[in-house]
Amino acid sequence: MLQTNKIVNFDGILLPAPGVDLKRWAVVACDQFTGDPDYWQNVEETVCGAPSAYRLTFPEIYLSKDNSARIKNIHAAMDSYLSGGVFKEYKNCAVLTERRTPYHARRLGLVLSIDLEAYSYKKGDKTPIRATEGTIIERIPPRVEIRRGAPLEISHILLLIDDPGRTLIEALYEKHKNDTPAYDTELNQNGGHVTGRLIYDTDDITARLNKLVKDDGFLFAAGDGNHSLATAKAFWDEIKGTLPENERARHPARYALCEAVNIYDPGLAFEPIHRIVYCAQHTIPTTGHQKKYFSILNSQLPPGSDAVETILHAQNYIDEYIKKYGGEVDYIHGAKELHEAAERNAARYPVPIEMPRIEKEDFFRLLDKYGIMPRKSFSLGEGVEKRYYLEARRIK
């Protein structure tokens, strides 16, 4: 059996030093609220001049053709925080997280690093750590550009484990729930609350993980942050060929910081990721045409189609439509947010399209059936439930 000490790592975790305002430090994942500029303006106003993970990340709502100035500022902030005492480093440990959100009373997680040599985002690869959704290759280069000049990484990646017996994270929680927290804070923008406890017994973690490895070596499925993990892999593949063999085994960029979550955690909900297509005026000029669009989109699906088939059909239609007629697509978390985005952007002739939910009880069966699901097939919770950037680690 594959030993997980070959694919997990506890080399060191950076946490905000005592005195850093954690409510202003932690911010939601960069790929959220891409259709809501007010959200990110409120984050900017909340953070103000305080040390914050906001300065270390690139909210996707601000991505443009030339991202160089913002990326330069991110690198400068990382250097400043490392040299200015904003971080405190903890070696040979993991972080047990306890998250409360407006929708769920508790979700547990375990923050550790994974070996990128054990991960692939290519369909059909039987690696221990696997992608769950199609990767949009065009989204990787600007992220690699950030990582290329970065001395550290700060993560919103969630990995899913198949642990119906609750032998890892839940068991560790019962063992360590009375330990003094390393951090304990309310989260801004209605994100709820998060507590983190350091676990130094990494042998215990490794032994528990070993029992969860499947017969084909499968252990972790990328849940949230698929593109961030793919970026880390692309950057490692870029630099490892420049390193002597003895340095490859221990280089910090070989690893990526992630949070593992049990798919059976009652605080982990699978939500659909909806689509909104913005069309040129001459393409869909009237409500009538929009109704026709919906009719074509939802037709020709065989009876009893599962959620993945439906999403794949819809995405293929959208891709072909844009290729033929033009327009843009955005991916929105939450049905309410979808229709609010359509109202805010009425002048862009929006067509909001609601997607079906993949039930988490079906997740590993569907993953086994399809290998990799269509891009943006599911979301782990609502937008405000996404992982907030808090822990970091050195990659240089």
Over residues 349-379, the pLDDT tens digits come to: 888 888 889 998 899 999 988 888 988 899 8
Q: What is the structure's pLDDT at 352?
A: 85
pLDDT, position 325: 83
Residues 6+ apart with CB under 8 A from 251: 239, 240, 243
pLDDT at 304 exceeding the cut of 80: no
Q: How confident is the model at residue 122 (pLDDT cuts 50, 70, 90)?
A: confident
Position 4 scores a pLDDT of: 58
- Token duo for residue 10: 């506890």
Q: CA distances (Å), 228 to each of 77, 328, 346, 376, in order?
A: 20, 22, 31, 14
If one compares 373 and 28, the residue with the highest pLDDT of the two is 28
- Does the structure show a pLDDT above 90 at 305? no
pLDDT beyond 70 at 291: no
pLDDT > 50? residue 292: no
pLDDT at 223: 92
Average pLDDT over residues 172-179: 98
| Mean pLDDT value of segment 275-282 | 76
pLDDT, residue 145, reads 93
Tens digit of pLDDT for each residue in 332-345? 988 888 889 989 99
Q: What is the mean pLDDT of residues 25-36?
A: 93
pLDDT for residue 35: 82
> How many CB atoms sit inside 10 A of residue 105's CB?
10
Q: What is the pLDDT of residues 139-148, one digit of tens each?
A: 788 889 999 9
Residue type for 32, please?
Q
pLDDT reading at 288 higher than 70? no
Residue 335: is it exposed, middle or buried by C-beta count within 10 angstroms (0-12/13-18/19+)? Answer: middle
* Mean pLDDT, the chain, whole residue set: 90
Terminal C-alpha separation, the chain = 32
Q: Residue range 233-261: average pLDDT?
A: 95
Of 280-284, 285-289, 378-382, least confident by mean pLDDT is 285-289
User: How many whole angstroms separate alpha carbon 391 and alpha carbon 67?
Assistant: 24
Query: At 299, is the pLDDT very low, low, confident or very high (cuts 50, 70, 90)?
Result: low
DSSP letter (8 states) at residue 16: E
- Give the residue-averaged pLDDT of 75-104: 98
Residue 290 has pLDDT above 70, yes or no: no
pLDDT at residue 1 tops 50: no
Lowest-pLDDT range of 101-115, 227-241, 323-337: 323-337
pLDDT at 225 over 80: yes
Structure letter (DSSP) for residue 123:
T
Both tokens of 37, joined, read 């500029």
Q: Does position 289 have pLDDT exceeding 50, yes or no?
A: no
pLDDT band of 138, cuts 50, 70, 90: confident
Cα–Cα distance between 83 and 187 in angstroms, integer?
Answer: 26
DSSP-assigned states of every residue in 154-179: E---EEEE--TT--SHHHHHHHHTTS
Q: What is the pLDDT of residue 281?
A: 58
> Of the given ranges (118-127, 185-194, 221-230, 298-307), which has the lowest mean pLDDT?
298-307
